[in-house]
């Protein structure tokens, strides 16, 4: 039952693959962003897990000195704080792009957008300049 000890890592792998699959398999742009979020969040979990020391507390010096206190490694937490900010920025930018795409194409389904783009291509090629 050694694999149970890596419980967090299994969740990480599951979330990562679920998110990744959603990004690839879904045609709806919002769902793609949701998938991307799950994908990124799984990495947050990976970092938090690796920083955990069993039996460790928060890395704050308690009253009366830190003698013999076991604490978790704070560095992965700090790192992932940065990655969370990056994730928020990516999501915001992605959603902003989706708003613009919706304005331009009137849809957020990938296959419908592709149809519109292909039609535009054939129109341009037959009908001369359309700028």
Partner 1 sequence: MIAAHLPALQIAVPLIAAPICLLLRRENLSWAWATFISWVVFALAWVMLEKTLTGGAFNYELGGWEAPYGIEYRVDALNAFILLIVAAIGAVVMPYARASVAREIPEHKRGLFYTAYLLCLTGLLGITITGDAFNVFVFLEISSLSSYALIALGRDPKALTAAFQYLIMGTIGATFILIGIGLMYQMTGTLNMADLAKRLPAVEDTRPVLAAFAFFIVGVCLKLALFPLHLWLPNAYAYAPSVVTAFLAATATKVSIYVLYRFVFTIFGQSFSFDVIPLESILLVLSLAGIFAASIVAIFQTNVKRLLAYSSVAQIGYIMLGVALVSVAGLTASILHIFNHAIMKGALFLCMGAVYYQIGSVKIEDMNGIGKKMPFTMFAFVIAGLGLIGVPLTVGFISKWYLITAVLEKGWWPVAVLILLSSLLAVIYIWRVVEAAYFKAGDSDDVVVKEAPVSMLIPIYVLTGASVYFGIETSLPLGTAAEAAKQLMGIGG
Chain positions contacting partner 1, by CB under 8 A: 16, 20, 23, 29, 32, 36, 39-40, 43, 46-47, 50, 75-76, 79, 82-83, 86, 89-90, 93-94, 97-98, 100-101, 104-105, 113, 117, 124-125, 129, 131
> Residue 41: what are its φ and ψ, rounded to 5°?
-65, -35
Least separation in angstroms between residue 113's CB and partner 1 is: 6
Q: Minimum CB separation from partner 1 for residue 63, in Å?
A: 26
Q: What angle do CA 51, 54, 59 make, to 5 degrees?
A: 55
- Cβ 18 to partner 1 shortest distance, Å: 14
Instruction: Evaluate whether 36 touches 55 at the Cβ level (below 8 Å).
Output: no
């Amino acid at each position: 039952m050694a694999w149970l000890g890596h419980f967090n890592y299994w969740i990480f792998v599951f979330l990562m693959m679920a998110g990744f699959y959603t990004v690839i398999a879904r045609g709806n742009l919002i769902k793609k962003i949701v998938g991307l979020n799950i994908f990124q969040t799984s990495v947050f979990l990976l970092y938090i897990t690796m920083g955990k020391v069993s039996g460790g507390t928060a890395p704050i010096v308690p009253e009366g000195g830190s003698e013999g206190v076991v604490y978790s490694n704070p560095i992965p937490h700090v790192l992932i704080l940065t990655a969370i900010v990056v994730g928020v920025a990516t999501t915001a930018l992605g959603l902003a792009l989706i708003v613009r795409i919706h304005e331009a194409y009137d849809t957020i389904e990938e296959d419908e957008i592709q149809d519109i783009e292909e039609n535009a291509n054939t129109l341009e090629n037959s009908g001369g300049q359309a700028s």
